[in-house]
Amino acid sequence: MPELVDVVVVGGGVMGVCLAYELARRTLRVALLEAYALGSGVTGSGFAWLNATSKTESDERYFQLNAEALKRYERLALEHKAENLGIHSGGTLYWARSSQPQQIAMLRRRADRLQALGYPYSMVSSGDMEILEPLVRFRPPNESVEGLFAPADKWAEPLRLIRFLANHARNHNAIIKEYCPIESFHTDTLGKVSMVRAGGAEYATRSVVLAAGLQTPALIQLLTSNPQATQAVPIKQVPGILADTAPQSAEGQARRVLYPPDTGGLHFRPTATGGLLVGADDTDALAMEGSLDAKRLNEIGRSLLVRANDWLPQLALKEAAQGMSAYLCMRSVPQDDYPIVGALPGVNGVYVAVTHSGLTLAPLLAHLLAEEIMLKQMPPQLAPYRPDRFL
């Protein structure tokens, strides 16, 4: 006998899990089907910075969507406690040196935009910054620095977050299946989705959400047998490289997400186990150039630690480098960089939810899409992000 469910969610990354959580708490019966373990896609290996401050150059609606998503996290934390969710507040600190007028100008421009957009921030002196981050070397001799502190930004432990939300959904009657890849979809004579087969079981349903990141177009193809249908969800793969140091190797070195005045876009933050997570825009660009073997990735990881050490002079570099893992991961980025959320044109009852900045946006996008599925009405905030804009 097939299991009767209101909604099947495909994909156990942050997007799918947040959806299962939002649907289950609205008393819908949900089955979340994940091909591997929860979080084994991009979700488990990103930088997990929850922020709006990096989006000041995007369009205003998108900036406000991110700002609203941070408020959603605050509500989640009020309800479930930040430590249970693996959410770390502390904000983001950017700074620039007086010897680099271009960087000072960029910092001030970011501040002007944040002011215009109504997002909390303050300009901070080197004295303030030393209080925020006592172990960081902000100021080279004979130079002054300017800082921008955005207290509403956060960072997350993605696996802790999604495991907590998945358990909560389970407690609200959701079926959460890992190692359960989709085998087939079925539609009725009117073209409405009717059943999903996965992991040897059948789920009878009237609604399916595809939240499978990079694999979403392949699932649309499986569902429709029509390569053209995948045009509604054009996704590019954008690689990123992160260096993650061993537990306790950088205890207390950084207390929040830090953006020093590094021309290559270096950024780092603490990890929950007392390590450091480091990335940079210029090393991400190296990954675009071609395949990297383990040795090259390790060299890149070490170079990221050396750069972080410029700002964290007390970091025990040798120890940090010893247990470091450097890895490459593919972002699933919609072609125009904005989320793709809503009904898939052409197949009744099927929705898609794919986005970049998914750690930041998933709780809010999932809340909005759950409202839509429940009320059969599109929330206005989702209007710019519909799949049919690509057709």
Among 159, 254, 360, 370, binds ligand FAD (CB under 6 A): 360
Q: Tell me whether residue 129 or residue 354 sits nearer to ligand FAD (CB atom).
A: 354
Please say which residue, 58 or 126, places its beta carbon nearer to ligand FAD. 58
Taking CB under 6 A as the criterion, which residues in 185-204 touch ligand FAD?
none
Beta bridge partners of 351: 209, 343
Task: Select from 182, 209, 350, 352 the one that contacts ligand FAD (CB under 6 A).
Answer: 182
14 vs 96, beta carbon nearer ligand FAD: 14
By CB under 6 A, the residues from 306 to 335 that bind ligand FAD are 329, 331-332
- The reply on whether position 42 binds ligand FAD by CB under 6 A is yes
Least distance (Å) between residue 358 CB and ligand FAD = 3
Parallel, antiparallel, or unpaired: how do β-strands 49-50 and 30-33 relate?
Answer: unpaired
Q: Tell me if 242 contacts ligand FAD by CB under 6 A.
A: yes
Residue 63: which region, alpha, beta or left (left: phi > 0; alpha: psi -120 to 50)?
alpha
- Contacts with ligand FAD by CB under 6 A: the residue count is 38
Smallest gap from residue 154 Cβ to ligand FAD (A):
10
- Residues 34, 133, 146, 157: which binds ligand FAD (CB under 6 A)? 34
Residues 130-159 that bind ligand FAD (CB under 6 A): none
Long-range Cβ contact pairs of 184-193 (< 8 A, separation 24 or more): 184/222, 185/222, 185/223, 187/347, 187/348, 190/348, 191/347, 191/348, 192/347, 192/348, 192/349, 193/223, 193/347, 193/348, 193/349, 193/350
Among 7, 8, 9, 15, the residue binding ligand FAD under the rule CB under 6 A is 15
Write the CB contacts of 192 (distance below 8 Å, at least 6 apart in sequence): 206, 347, 348, 349
Could you say which of 14, 28, 169, 277 contacts ligand FAD (CB under 6 A)? Answer: 14
Q: Residue 283 in contact with residue 309, Cβ under 8 Å? A: no
Q: Are residues 368 and 341 in contact, defined by beta-carbon separation less than 8 angstroms? A: yes
Judged by CB under 6 A, the residue of 8, 48, 136, 165 near ligand FAD is: 48
The residues in 254-293 that bind ligand FAD, with binding defined as CB under 6 A, are: none
Q: Which of 7, 16, 129, 256 binds ligand FAD (CB under 6 A)?
A: 16
- Out of 91, 217, 240, 363, which residue is the one contacting ligand FAD (CB under 6 A)? 240
Handedness of CA 165, 171, 174, 176 (dihedral sign): positive
Residues 6+ apart with CB under 8 A from 386: 340, 341, 342, 343, 378
- Nearer to ligand FAD (CB atom), residue 285 or residue 375: 285
Among 40, 84, 89, 221, binds ligand FAD (CB under 6 A): 40
Per CB under 6 A, the list member of 7, 20, 46, 96 interacting with ligand FAD is 46
Q: Is residue 179 part of the contact set for ligand FAD (CB under 6 A)?
A: no
Burial of 291 by CB count in 10 Å (0-12 exposed, 13-18 middle, 19+ buried)?
exposed
Residue with tokens 């609606």: 61
Among 120, 151, 181, 379, binds ligand FAD (CB under 6 A): 181
Measured from the CB atom, the residue of 145 and 268 that comes closer to ligand FAD is 268
Q: What is the per-residue DSSP string for 162-210?
A: HHHHHHHHHHTT-EEESS--EEEEEE-TTSBEEEEEETTEEEE-SEEEE
DSSP state letter for 261: S
The stretch among 45-53, 93-101, 108-116, 296-304 that binds ligand FAD (CB under 6 A) is 45-53
Q: Judged by CB under 6 A, which of 5, 9, 30, 35 binds ligand FAD? A: 35
Distance from C-alpha of 30 to C-alpha of 330, rounded to nearest angstrom: 28
Distance from C-alpha of 342 to C-alpha of 365, rounded to nearest angstrom:
10
User: Which residue, 240, 221, 228, 263, is CA-closest to 356?
Assistant: 240
- Given the rule CB under 6 A, which residues bind ligand FAD? 10-16, 33-36, 40-43, 46-49, 181-182, 211-213, 215, 219, 240, 242, 329, 331-332, 354-360
